[in-house]
Structure 1
Amino acid sequence: MELRQKKNTTGGDIGSYYPLFDWLRIILAIVVALKHDDVIQWSNAGNLAVQVFFALSGWLIGGILLSSKKEDLPRFFFNRVTRIWVPYAIAIALLLGASLLRDPVTSKWLEFAFYKLTFVYNFFGPPQLAQFRLQMPLAGTGNHFWSICAEEQFYLLAPFVIVLMPVRLGKSLVLWSLLSVLAVSAQVYGSIALGVTAAMLRYYFGDWHLNKCALIILSAILIASVMCIILDWAPYIFVAPFFSVITVLLLARFGVKTYWGQFVGGMSYPFYLNHWIGVFSAHKLLEPFGLREAPISKVLALVLNLFVAAVLYIVIDYSIKKYRSSWFNNRRGIYSAFAAYSLMAVGLAGGLSFFKG
């Protein structure tokens, strides 16, 4: 189903772009950073922001896969590798490089680095966090990389279901509804699966979420989910995915691209990956003055994080976006897919071996 294209009076496309998502991304990334810097005290704040990220990803990437054919998959994997892997690899290099300046390189240190590099950290890293935090690079500072790993795993599985399986099965609302329920129940990929299911509803029924009646119903569900979370009427882990996908649906409003919107939306990914840099730098700069934990340290950390993210976005992410199409060819796309599945296989085999040992 092709997106309907609408034009505003200035000629800008307002039928295929969601400008509110740009601002949502940077807000979510900042929430995670403020939680990790103990500015936000609610224990689930960071996780909830990540769940919304997941639902947003499912809505957008799921929509791409729903309109893709088998021959489009090399480009899909190439885009994932260039858009996600390169900034992620740089983030890992920065983290491990800083860790080498102060941490001993032990077998456990290497193990956790291996998990991050092979996109399986979410399986094997967080379960060991309490016991082996001090043996992790920078005492577990890169623990938030679990979300990048989980998302990459999902998008190795999703193309098989949506694109390669028969249409009646792979693009079945019944199947994806069941998968979403199972994912939420198992507490694995729940928000992403719901995001894909929401994209599938749009694929079949158009922009139903823009109707006034739908807006009222979705708003009511959002309020109910907020009440469930605040008042603990239901387990947070089951409510959060539904809160997340409803939030995405309410903000999925067509509009015009703006320079600053695209800029802050683009820098949200390097901000999320590298937000430890501002915190560490602020502590280092203010510690001689006895202000390491003072409020000014929190403000300085946020400012430094925004600056670092802006620089990384301009130098890395924007450059990739600008030249990615010219870099692509079908062979590179196939190599990207092979590398993705191979890394995952190596990571799972290695992780199981380490655990068994």
Structure 2
Amino acid sequence: MTNAPPAPSTVDDRSGAPATRPHIPELDGLRGLAIAGVLLFHAGHLSGGFLGVDLFFVLSGYLITDLLLRDRQLSLPRFWGRRIRRLWPALAVLLVGVTLLTWAFGTPDQLRGALADGPWTQLNLANWHLLAESAGYWDRFGPGRVFGHLWSIAVEEQFYLLWPLVVLALRRERAVALAAGLGSVLSLGLMVLLAEPDRVYTGTDTRAFSLLLGALVAVPAVRRWVLRRVPSWVVLPLLAGLAVSWLLVDGEHSPILFQGGLFAHAAAAALLIVLAPGSVLARGLAWRPLRGLGLISYSLYLWHWPVFLLLGKEQTGLDGWAWTLLVCAVSLALAVLSKVFVEDPVRFRASWARGHTGLVAFAASMAVVALTWIAVPRPAAAVIDTGALGGGGAVSANGPKASRVLFMGDSIAVGLALPLAAATKASGLTLKSVAAAGGGGVVGPLAEMTWAELPGTIAEFRPDVLIYQVTTYDWGSAAEQRAGYERLVKAAGQAKVLFVTMPPIKPDEFYAAHLDELARTATVLREVAAGGRAEVLDAGQVWGATYQRDREGKVERSTDGIHACPAGAARFTAWLLDALAARFSGVTKVSPETWANTGWSADQHFKGC
């Protein structure tokens, strides 16, 4: 068999598409392998199946760059119009359909997640939204995120928007190849530098190398060089290497992935894409069932994750392979319906989907989807029992006067800040929260992100009180922790620092190696506070000594074992307000009725409650 590339021909999608190579069935087979890996990963049967997404990225970079370079009269509006017709109709139907299904059959958490994530997904910014929400890929995006898997669609769409501009600006194949090569190396460098698994895995900048390596081998000169220099039998070890990696790697617990392993995987996938057509693997990759899976891979990817959540093991009463077969069958059926009745008609046959009418139809469909986020009723806010939160009182005359409070912490503190903002406003205080999901600490691996902004924030806000909620990332030795906390006391200037101990969390694989370090923080804090400019508040009075989901008949902690639920956040707020009133003058001990049920408990941050 030969590795010679197929002769050029034209693609008839009735859209004025440029001349391109004929359809390559082997690439459909690779798509089929990719989507199969993703489904098995999300079903819990293949630890490295998430690498199927990387194979999708490389394929996308390859096919799009090949298309752009063959278009001798490259028109960006025409290119983007084809991309919209290819991708948007199925996505629009999914967004509306899944939201309505979640409203009808899902949990309140799932509906909150859909309504919060949907607009960002519609704008192709889902990956950055999930990172801002500290929704990790490796914990399946947190509870209830039916659109969480669409982070990868956002990465591809951002590539489709930006990369054609680069190709149009450069035009020359060698320049495009150089840009793709240098861009992929720069992206790899960012991944290694940033290191944090969720950030680097779902960030566009740190995943661009997969798309750009595909773009690199799509350049005809590079592709010809590979076909001349690399023997066709190399496809066998390449495919075997990919298979072994999919079997053995384990996401965030395989640090080699983020030290070059993902780059190596993408490079192997890029070579496989070039070498597979016409190789000894051609017949196997062109196997009709595998090709068929590849042909519906886009719609199958769209639908599988919502199906997995809405038809979960608890809802169906099934487990293991019986559950996997059910949800995969339903996903396949929905994918076929999407392709037959939505994707292909708009892409190939609908004349109204082109030109000015196509632009109007696209704008109208965007408006309809946007209205979905407004029209679908939100889940009712949790009602806080104010009877257990104490009563009101007079303005405190204790200690120095306080009027401005700066609140710090991680994603736990983000949730606690919601009722705290309502309560401090009612009590006459001005609260500024700089709590940050996926950060916010002054010690540990993410501390420098905090320190880059904190001195300026303190100088501008001039707080009387600085409250630091110990974060789940306050890792390090005792000396490192002491240095971070002392640095905070010094940076606070004249403000009194109140350290609040961390709520107990449920041990899991991610935190297991750091539980001793986190447990030590209370001791280190008391040593730092001994100097008199800081004080330690023991939050064990609120949360207890160990993680407890229910306290006194109320759900106070999330099922994720980390965050607070509205009832717990309200209890914390009442406790903290009492602590402030006991130490500072000018703090009104207001009745909980003034702040406890003012709408904050409906915030989508309270997931798993």
TM-score, with length taken from structure 1: 0.74
* Counterpart residue type for residue 317 of structure 1: E
Q: 2:156 aligns with which of 138, 151, 154?
A: 151
- Superposed CA deviations along residues 171-194 of structure 1, whole A, max 9, x for unmatched, are 442232111211233323111000
For the structure 1 residues 247 and 127, does the alpha-carbon distance in structure 2 shift closer, same or farther, using more than 3 Å as the test?
Answer: farther
User: Deviations along 1:204-263, whole A, 9 cap, x unmatched?
Assistant: 256444458443556566666777885876733333322322232232449899987764
2:336 to 297, 301, 310: 310
Q: Whose relative contact order is higher, 1 or 2, with alpha carbons under 8 Å and at least 6 apart?
A: 1
Could you tell me which runs of 5 or more consecutive residues in structure 1 were left unpaired when the two chains were aligned.
7-13, 341-354
Partners of 2:241 and 2:227 in 1: CA distance: 20
What is aligned with 1:18?
A: 24
| In 2: Cα distance, 1:225 partner to 1:30 partner | 14
Determine if the alignment matches structure 1 residue 27 to structure 2 residue 27. Answer: no
**Amino acid of the structure 1 residue aligned with 2:75:** D
- Kept in 2, the 8 Å contact 1:162–1:170? The answer is no
Q: State whether structure 2 residue 83 is matched by structure 1 residue 80.
A: yes
Q: Decide whether aligned partners of structure 1 residues 237 and 66 sit closer, same or farther in structure 2, where only a CA change above 3 A counts.
A: same
Identical-pair percentage? 21
C-alpha change, 1:240 and 1:166, in structure 2 (3 Å) is closer
2:179 — aligned with what?
Answer: 175
Contact residue 66 and residue 171 of structure 1 kept, 8 A = no
Residue-by-residue CA offset, 1:56-77 (whole Å, 9 max, x unaligned): 0111111011122455322211
More strand by share: 2
User: 1 CA distance for matches of 2:100 and 2:116?
Assistant: 16
Verify the 8 A CA contact 2:68 2:164 in the aligned structure 1.
yes
Matches within 5 A, 1:167-206: 167-168=171-172, 171-186=175-190, 187-200=206-219, 203-204=220-221
Q: RMSD value over aligned CA atoms? A: 4.3
How many Å separate the matches in 2 of 1:115 and 1:141? 13
Q: In the alignment, what sits opposite 1:247?
A: 272
C-alpha contact 1:103 1:138 (8 A) present in aligned 2 = no
Aligned to 2:69: 66
- Which secondary structure state, in structure 2, belongs to the residue aligned with residue 125 of structure 1? helix
Cα separation, 2, equivalents of 1:227 and 1:265: 21
Q: Greater shift after overlay, 239-248 or 79-88? A: 239-248
* 8 A Cα contact 1:77 1:333, kept in partner: no
1:91–1:274 contact (8 Å) kept in structure 2 = yes
Distance 1:238 1:104, change over 3 A: closer
Structure 1 residue 149, shift from structure 2 partner: 0.4
**C-alpha contact 1:22 1:261 (8 A) present in aligned 2:** yes
For 1:175 and 1:58, locate their aligned partners in 2 and report how far apart those are by CA, in whole Å.
13
- Report the Cα distance in structure 2 between the residues aligned to 1:247 and 1:191, rounded to whole angstroms: 13
Q: What does the per-residue CA deviation read over 1:89-145, in whole Å, with 9 as the maximum and x for residues that have no partner?
A: 1122222222323326998764422211111111121452448x99x8971232110
Q: C-alpha separation between the residues in 1 aligned to 2:71 and 2:34?
A: 29
Q: TM-score, normalised by structure 2?
A: 0.46
- For 1:319, which of 345, 360, 364 is the aligned residue? 345
Structure having the larger proportion of residues in helix:
1
Alignment of 1:327-342 (within 5 A): 327-329=353-355
Alpha-carbon contact 2:60-2:214 (below 8 Å) kept: yes
Structure 1 residues 303 and 172: alpha-carbon distance in aligned structure 2, compared to 1, 3 A threshold: closer
**Contact kept in structure 2, 1:282 and 1:292, CA below 8 Å:** no
Q: Which residue of 2 aligns with 1:9?
A: none
Aligned length: 325
3-state DSSP of counterpart to 2:75: helix
1:181-330 alignment to 2 at 5 Å? 181-186=185-190, 187-200=206-219, 203-204=220-221, 207-211=224-228, 213-216=230-233, 230=248, 235=259, 236-253=261-278, 263-280=292-309, 282-283=311-312, 287=316, 291-323=317-349, 327-329=353-355
Please state whether the residue corresponding to 2:144 is helix, strand or coil: helix
1:350 match: none
AA aligned opposite 1:144: H
> Which residue identity lines up with residue 151 of structure 2 in the other structure?
W
Amino acid at match of 2:29: W
- Which is worse superposed, 90-99 or 259-268? 259-268
Unmatched segments (≥5 aa) in structure 2: 10-19, 191-205, 367-434, 438-609
Task: Map residues 124-143 of structure 1 onto 2, 5 A cutoff.
Answer: 124-130=129-135, 139-143=144-148
What is the CA–CA distance in structure 2 between the aligned matches of 1:106 and 1:307, rounded to whole Å?
Answer: 23
Q: Distance in 1 between matches of 2:223 and 2:267?
A: 20
Q: Aligned partners of 2:119 and 2:287: how far apart in 1?
A: 39
Alignment correspondent of 2:463:
none
Q: Which has the larger radius of gyration?
A: 2
How far residue 316 of structure 1 moved from its aligned partner, in angstroms, is: 1.0
Which deviates further from its counterpart, 183-192 or 245-254?
245-254
Say whether the 8 Å CA contact 2:31–2:56 is kept in structure 1. Answer: yes
Asked whether the equivalents of residues 299 and 339 of structure 2 are also in contact (C-alpha less than 8 Å), the reply is yes
Answer whether contact 2:99 2:111 (CA < 8 A) is retained: no
Residue in 1 that maps onto 2:125: 120
Matched with 1:347 is none
Q: 2:43 aligns with which of 24, 30, 37?
A: 37
Q: Which amino acid aligns with 2:270?
A: V
